[in-house]
Amino acid sequence: MSYRIVHYINQFFAGIGGEEKADYKPEAREGVVGPGQALNAAFKGRAEIVGTVICGDSYFAEHMAEASAEILEMIRKFSPDAVIAGPAFNAGRYGTASGAVLELVSRELKIPVVGGMYPENPGVELYRKSAYIVRTSDSARGMGPAVQGMAALALKLLDGEKIGTPEEEGYIERGLRKNIFLDKVGGERAAEMLARKLRGEPFKTEYPMPVFDRVAPNPPILDMKKAVVALVTSGGIVPKGNPDHIEASSATHYGEYSLEGVLTADADHYETAHGGYDPTYANKDPNRVLPVDVLRQLEKEGVIGKLHEKYYSTVGNGTSVANAKRFGEEIVGKLKKDGVDAVIVTST
């Protein structure tokens, strides 16, 4: 028996285009497109991609309800036994769209679903409880291992086989806990783990804890009247026309813009590139997100020494942790080099 598979991919992997085609509307095609070739080969004749559904990343993010309904109907018409999305690697909007599609298909069509993402893709945290997401590298360089893992897991699900642990099967931990029965009580198992730890032997905790970055606060500024203060925002305020083409979500870069001679972030010269909130009020008065007017007033009154003549802007929604960390490190380096004493970070 050959299982029927529908494959969901974005506009880039469909060969339609990159960011300039991210507003591509949902489309269904018969058979294999793009990375589906590698998936079909990995199935080794036991399953076949009968249809491919394509949607632009920005279109899905900006029309989620409408796009989801349309994509679900496209998938339904192929009468699939399972749906595979991606792999999305570390592409945040692609991962988020893939996860949303898999969650919807699992809930509405009650068939197996499998995705593939880099662990730091924001789609993982949003949808790992709704679908099996195979761990991938951060880029398409890891396409081979990714599709092999996704195909193998999909076949096990279709065959109704028992799915092993994340380590055994290669999927990202789903955050679901199950009750199991063991021969030894918890106290005895804990004592054995402690003994192995003290002996320097390998052991595995039964209850892994989340890991959080700890950032020690800097000492307070003693005299704000001499301080150079900078503005940084994840609210997406950019010069009119978005000259650096910062993405509406899952940003891959940030912008650096001059405030020299700028007394207010007025609507004639600034707008928001952010796709995660209603832009109406930010576009009407960009100072609501980037308070240039207030800081210029404080500068005039002598409350602060000076407003830094550059500001930095990006979009926070859906942006991967890795990209956000890189943005922060690069921006901090530039601010320190420019002698900035304090930073006001605004969001939405």
Q: Which of 338, 337, 339, 312 is nearest to 326 (CA)?
A: 312
Q: Are residues 165 and 228 in the same domain?
A: no
Q: Which of 141, 169, 197 is the last residue of a domain?
A: 169
Q: Are residues 160 and 247 in the same domain?
A: no
Residue 111 falls inside a structural domain? yes
Q: Are residues 110 and 255 in the same domain?
A: no
Residue 235 falls inside a structural domain? yes
Residue 207 falls inside a structural domain? no
Residue 269 falls inside a structural domain? yes
CA 94 distance to own-chain centroid: 8
Which CATH number belongs to the domain containing residue 103 in this structure?
3.40.50.2300
Task: Render pLDDT for 47-78 as a digit per residue (tens, 0 to 9).
Answer: 999 999 999 998 998 899 999 999 999 999 99
Specify the pLDDT at position 1.
63
Task: Render pLDDT for 245-268 as a digit per residue (tens, 0 to 9).
Answer: 998 877 889 999 999 999 999 999
Specify the pLDDT at position 148.
96
Specify the pLDDT at position 209.
77
- Give the sign of the dihedral formed by CA 273, CA 278, CA 283, CA 286: negative
What's the number of domains the chain is made of? 2
Domain span holding position 245: 224-346
Q: Are residues 247 and 163 in the same domain?
A: no
Residue 82 falls inside a structural domain? yes
For each successive 10 residues of the chain (348 residues), what is the average pLDDT? 93 90 93 94 95 94 92 97 94 91 96 95 90 93 95 96 91 82 89 93 83 84 96 96 89 94 96 89 96 97 96 88 88 96 93
Distance CA 109, CA 103 (A): 10
Q: Are residues 39 and 118 in the same domain?
A: yes
Q: Are residues 22 and 148 in the same domain?
A: yes
Instruction: Give the pTM.
Output: 0.70
Specify the pLDDT at position 94.
92
Residue 200 falls inside a structural domain? no
Specify the pLDDT at position 62.
85
